[in-house]
Amino acid sequence: MKCRVCREPAVIDIRRHNANFCVEHFLRLCRDQVAKAVKDHDMLDPDDRVLVAVSGGKDSLAVWDILLELGYEADGLYIGLGIGEYSNTSGDFARTFATARGVRLVEVDLVAEHGFDIPTGSKAAKRVPCSACGLSKRHLFDKAALDGSYDVIVTGHNLDDEAAVLFGNTLRWQTDYLGRQLPVLAARKGFPKKVKPLVRLTEREMAAYCVLRGIDYIVDECPMAKGNKHIAYKEALNEVELGSPGSKHDFYHGFLARAVEKFAGDEGEDYVLQPCETCGAPTTNEVCAFCRLVERATGSTPGEQGTMSRTEGPPRARQKASREQ
């Protein structure tokens, strides 16, 4: 097995490119694929202040590393979700990376700052853990980016993630979600810009990237995500990819090139956002979804944890289904 570029011994085969690569040329390929995604989708300007949301997993540490290599000024953001040993270990990987590279890691701790952790808080609020977790992360990403005056938030979603989400949205024809499934969400209405520079790279490639760059990451999946549909969709697409390399790429990038616009009207732009009465974040309700979650998870209104127990009846009526990004 020889490298396509230099004919030296290769360390990885990439069937969708019908090629093998040595260490140097594989690492270059990863950087080039990120640079291409950034350019094609107008993700970043060279002087942007970038905040990379890092979970301690391979994808987010790899994208942070690649953006630093490409010369971006990129800080990290780690959110402690209080998921036992999993969170302790993943936080350590994020910190170790930041220290080794001499870069800044912003940390937000859900328990210390908002009075609940995902396992107990989601149960108290009667929400599926992944949904409470996703909602909390989105809110805290936005807040950290705005508080720190960052131009853009980067996440480590890769081609496997995006193809699996697209598969799920297509299976159910969730046309409003399809209209918004873009690798870039522009800043608007009080939300920061959000980008996914790994949409041209797979999970396997990101694992190889970390190993070859000597980046330690948490290998275990989140224990709360077991049985998640997303995992089943990934497995189904892996089967297809095995028989027909490049299918995942064509499915997702073909959607971006030829179909996403057709759903653009379905996302609905007619809703009105106003500041959350409690935290000021943009919301379609009086109180944003995160503050309502905090209230239900802790039994107190945000900012009052431990001082006052809420005695009113059920949570206040919703004006509309939440439309927070």
Q: Which residues bind Zn ion (CB under 5 A)?
A: 3, 5-6, 22, 25, 276, 278-279, 281, 288, 291
Q: What is the Cα–Cα distance from 96 to 180, expressed in whole angstroms?
A: 35
- Which of 37, 118 has the CB closer to ligand FES? 118
Q: Which of 51, 77, 105, 133 binds ligand FES (CB under 6 A)?
A: 133
Q: What is the Cα–Cα distance from 94 to 54, expressed in whole angstroms?
A: 7
3-class secondary structure, 197: coil
3-class secondary structure, 82: coil
Q: How far is the CB of 281 from ligand FES (least distance, A)?
A: 20
Options 24-32, 49-57, 200-208, 311-319: segment touching ligand AMP (CB under 6 A): 49-57
Q: Name residues whose C-beta falls within 8 Å of residue 82's C-beta, 6 or more positions apart in sequence.
A: 109, 110, 111, 116, 117, 118, 119, 121
279 binds, among ligand FES, ligand AMP, Zn ion, none (CB under 5 to 8 A by kind): Zn ion
Q: Is 77 in the site for ligand AMP (CB under 6 A)?
A: yes
182 binds, among ligand AMP, ligand FES, Zn ion, none (CB under 5 to 8 A by kind): none
Q: What share of the chain is helix, strand, coil (3-state, %, to 5)?
A: 50, 15, 40
- Which of 24, 113 has the CB closer to ligand FES? 113
Q: Which of 20, 33, 60, 298 binds ligand AMP (CB under 6 A)?
A: 60
Binding mask 63-82 for ligand FES (x = CB under 6 A): ------------------x-
Q: What is the Cα–Cα distance from 119 to 26, expressed in whole angstroms?
A: 39
Indicate the angle between helix axes 58-69 and 203-213, nearest 10 degrees: 60
Contact 167, 124 (CB under 8 A): no
Q: Which of 222, 273, 281, 289 binds ligand FES (CB under 6 A)?
A: 222
Q: How far is the CB of 117 from ligand AMP (least distance, A)?
A: 12
3-class secondary structure, 210: helix
Q: Is 155 in the site for ligand AMP (CB under 6 A)?
A: yes
Per-residue CA distances from 113 to 56, 117, 126, 303, 308 (Å): 20, 10, 21, 9, 16
**Footprint of ligand AMP on this chain (CB under 6 A)?**
53-55, 59-60, 77-79, 81, 137, 155-157
**Footprint of ligand FES on this chain (CB under 6 A)?**
81, 118, 129-130, 133, 222, 224-225
